[in-house]
Amino acid sequence: MNSNGILRKHWFHVTLHFLADTTIFCLAFVVGILVRFGDSDPQLAAGSPWDHWPTFVLSGVILSAMIYIVGLYSTHSAHRGAFERAFILLACTLASVLVVVGGSYALSAHAPGRGVMLIGSAAAYVFVLIHHVFLLHALRTARERVAYIVTSPCDELETRLFANFSGRNLELVGVIAFYGYQPTGDVRVLGRVDSIAEIVEREKIDRVLCTTKSLTNASLTRHFCKLRYSGVSVMPLIILCEEIEQYVPLELITPEWLLSASGEPQLLYIKKVKRLFDIVCSLLGLIFGAPLVALAAVAICLSSPGPIFYRQTRAGRFGREFRILKLRTMRVDAEKNGVQWSGENDPRVTWVGRFLRRYRIDEIPQLWQVLCGHLSFVGPRPERPELIQMLATEIPYYQERAMVQPGITGWAQVSYPYGASVTDARRKLEFDLYYMKHMSLFLDVFILLDTVRIVLLGGAAPATRALSQTETLQEWVRAKEKEAEPLHPAELGSS
């Protein structure tokens, strides 16, 4: 069986590796001091190297942040070769060492010493490289064997969806048939559900997938409990999609999932810690972003007539309206014909506005709304009330995103590029719902790091769902609707 659980608890493993690299970097300089000076407490003319421990910790965090930004903690980074990873890690380590040097002089006007720096830098790179060799090996060798319980043709359609999520780390061994159902697909039939425990042991199954309906079936409860006590995961496909892809397909959402998702986030984090996090981040952002806002204001004045700032009504948590403040990026007559979608290559955007949007500079003034409590730093994007009313009629569960505080940046913003259609809004909602269920301090920090990546690259990479997956989901929905339809009287008579 797969013992490393690399696919489970995605953000837990990202956090674990993040903290591991930070600790490794700090310990490397401890090794450098001990090798250079031994067990004695070195007291140099300019002070002790141990006085620089805050700089070591800060540089270690910066190292891990850079590694996360370039994507080396992601399960999707397994395709990157060893030499590429080694080069990236070398660049990140050297940048962190420069922070050590700069921070040391800034705090105490002296460096820890050339010997300590040389030994510590070399040890940091070697130890971090060893850590990532093991991580790369785990990403490439981790494999989970999966079985799927099927109760109807609609369930068999879900096994086709599984192929889009599996990648190299999951293997569909076969299906387990429910009482009285004979599978008709091409997937191998492992046996009947009444012998599921023996099947799992014989085929070395790591997790069993089923529909939400099967998960609540009273006749299967005893079997599922036995499997879980034996260490085998039992879950619907929607949970697997959350773990592997970090979004939630709308077609798979049920009222039970929504009820469960609303109870996942910790109330303490939402009510207290998240607000403190917002205040600290917004204050820092306003302080360091003020020069950029001043330069942008001058550029706006010189490039196009009209006001510097743009105010607009947006819907906040539970639909409460507030006025948002942004730097103006469009012509003053941009909405003379009414409310319109704003696309990536919108002709109404000025040339200065295009630059401001590309690097998210136009959104810095929104930090004032964060400080006032209208916005959070991280959350679903605040939309205009008119668009929300229109989208709610076309996209199921769209109004659920109003249950949490909207944010300047969010999981949807960093995972999906600019959207200008109902389809784009639908896809972004799938990421928003994932965030609403899994929100935490660590996830917010990682989203901020992803935002840095987006700013540096000038936009999110395309994240469109595969056409085969979309077609399968549509076919699955049609099959579900057909299953729910009452039989025609003629059909009842023939049966």
- Which H, E and C letters describe 232-293, residue by residue? CEEEEHHHHHHHHHCCCCHHHCCHHHHHHHHCCCCHHHHHHHHHHHHHHHHHHHHHHHHHHH
Same domain, 82 and 112: yes
Q: Is residue 258 part of a domain?
A: no
Same domain, 271 and 320: yes
Same domain, 431 and 300: yes
Same domain, 217 and 362: no
Q: In the block, which residue shows the tokens 């930070």?
A: 22
- Residue 148 belongs to a domain with what CATH number? 3.40.50.720
Residue 155 CB coordination number (10 Å): 25
Same domain, 350 and 453: yes
Strands 233-236 and 207-210: parallel
pLDDT digits (tens), the chain, 495 positions? 343 444 457 888 899 999 999 999 999 999 988 888 766 655 544 556 677 788 899 999 999 999 999 999 988 788 888 899 999 999 999 999 999 888 777 666 566 778 888 999 999 999 999 999 999 988 888 788 899 998 888 777 777 777 666 556 788 898 899 887 888 877 889 999 888 999 999 999 998 988 877 887 888 888 888 888 888 888 888 888 888 888 888 888 888 888 878 766 566 667 678 888 899 989 999 999 999 999 999 999 888 888 889 888 999 888 899 998 899 888 877 666 666 666 666 778 888 888 888 888 888 999 999 999 899 999 999 988 988 989 999 999 998 998 889 999 999 989 887 766 888 889 899 999 999 988 888 899 999 999 988 888 765 555 545 444 555 566 656 666 566 544 343 433 333
Give backbone dihedrals phi and psi of 104, rounded to 5 degrees, phi first: -65, -45
Instruction: Residue 224: name the closest of 232, 357, 429 by CA.
Output: 232
Contacts 24+ apart (CB under 8 A), 223-231: 223/193, 223/194, 223/196, 223/197, 226/197, 227/196, 227/197, 227/200, 230/197, 230/200, 231/1
Same domain, 102 and 237: no
Rounded to the nearest angstrom, the gap between the alpha carbon of residue 204 and the centroid of all alpha carbons in its chain is 30
Same domain, 356 and 463: yes
With b for 16 or more beta-carbon neighbours within 10 A and e for fewer, the 36-55 pattern comes to bbeeeebeeeeeebeebeeb
Same domain, 276 and 414: yes
Same domain, 69 and 153: no
Same domain, 190 and 90: no
- Number of structural domains found in the chain: 3
Q: Which amino acid is at 352?
A: V
Contacts 24+ apart (CB under 8 A), 91-96: 92/63, 92/66, 92/67, 93/25, 93/63, 93/121, 93/124, 93/125, 93/128, 94/121, 95/62, 95/63, 95/66, 96/25, 96/59, 96/60, 96/62, 96/63, 96/66, 96/124
Q: Please give the residue range of the domain that contains residue 195.
A: 144-245
